[in-house]
Amino acid sequence: MVAAILGGLTAIVTNTRLKKIYQRRFPESRRERQFLASLGFFNTVLVVRALTLAIRHDIGPFHDVSMNGRHIHHLVWGIFLLLLVGYAWLNEVGTGSASSYQWIGRLMSMLFGVAAALTLDEFALWLNLRDVYWEREGRESFEALGLFGGLLAIGVFGRTFWRGIVSELRMDTRAPDRQ
């Protein structure tokens, strides 16, 4: 689901006039990587929360992942992805170096955000060394941290892109004949 959302957002920006705004507002790759990681983070927090609620209330086809009777928490997948992205970056895959492709850097940035969200969504599990996901001590702190952190990061790192969209919308309302 996260991949579909991020892929859809990428397609929208790539195939519309948002692409020009995006290119103007992210002239340097570091700022773009921060924005894409924030976008991956925020979307993953929302999707994971929705999925865990669906699992808890037995809605739809969703269920816990288990192996030999052991529940595999989504923080495991987050740690795996963090290790994968970290290893790729150690080998300068997607870092903007002369030998790496720009699209791989964008993918790695989004994967980092996804991995951070998967891992931090179960921060209470690390802290308490027991599953307190639906208990008071586990739920409130990381929900607030995840949602606020994601929103803040998108606002801070994508500020120039969002300003560009607002400017473009203002121009559209002033000149309705513009194509």
Residue 143 has pLDDT above 60, yes or no: yes
Pairing of strands 66-67, 70-71: antiparallel
Residue 159 has pLDDT above 90, yes or no: no
Q: Which has the higher per-residue pLDDT, 127 or 166?
A: 166
pLDDT tens digits, 48-67: 999 999 999 999 999 999 99
The CA–CA distances, whole Å, from 80 to 31, 34, 138 equal 25, 20, 22
Predicted local confidence at residue 52, as pLDDT: 93
Predicted local confidence at residue 54, as pLDDT: 96
Query: Binning pLDDT at 50, 70 and 90, where does residue 144 land?
Result: low
Which pairs from 145-149 meet CB under 8 Å and 24+ separation?
Answer: 145/120, 146/41, 146/45, 146/117, 146/120, 146/121, 147/42, 147/45, 149/41, 149/120
Q: Which has the higher per-residue pLDDT, 66 or 173?
A: 66
Residue 46 lies in a domain: yes
Question: Locate tokens 């790695």: which residue?
Answer: 108
Between 28-42, 66-80, 90-104, 121-135, the lowest mean confidence (pLDDT) is in 90-104
Is the Cβ–Cβ distance between 160 and 34 less than 8 Å?
no
Residue 148 has pLDDT above 70, yes or no: no
Predicted local confidence at residue 176, as pLDDT: 59
Is the Cβ–Cβ distance between 71 and 64 less than 8 Å?
yes
Predicted local confidence at residue 53, as pLDDT: 93
Residue range of the domain that includes 95: 2-174
Residue 42 has pLDDT above 80, yes or no: yes
Number of domains composing the chain = 1
Looking at the chain, the number of H-run helices and the number of E-run strands are 8, 2
Between 67-71, 89-93, 97-101, the lowest mean confidence (pLDDT) is in 97-101
Mean pLDDT for 36-52 is: 92
Is the Cβ–Cβ distance between 13 and 19 less than 8 Å?
yes
Residue 164 lies in a domain: yes
Residue 151 lies in a domain: yes
Query: What is the rounded average pLDDT for all residues in the chain?
Result: 86
Residue 179 lies in a domain: no
Instruction: Give the torsion sign (CA, 174, 176, 177, 179).
Output: positive
Query: What is the spatial distance between Cα 142 and Cα 36, in angstroms, rounded to a whole number?
Result: 21
Secondary structure class of 70 (helix, strand, coil): strand
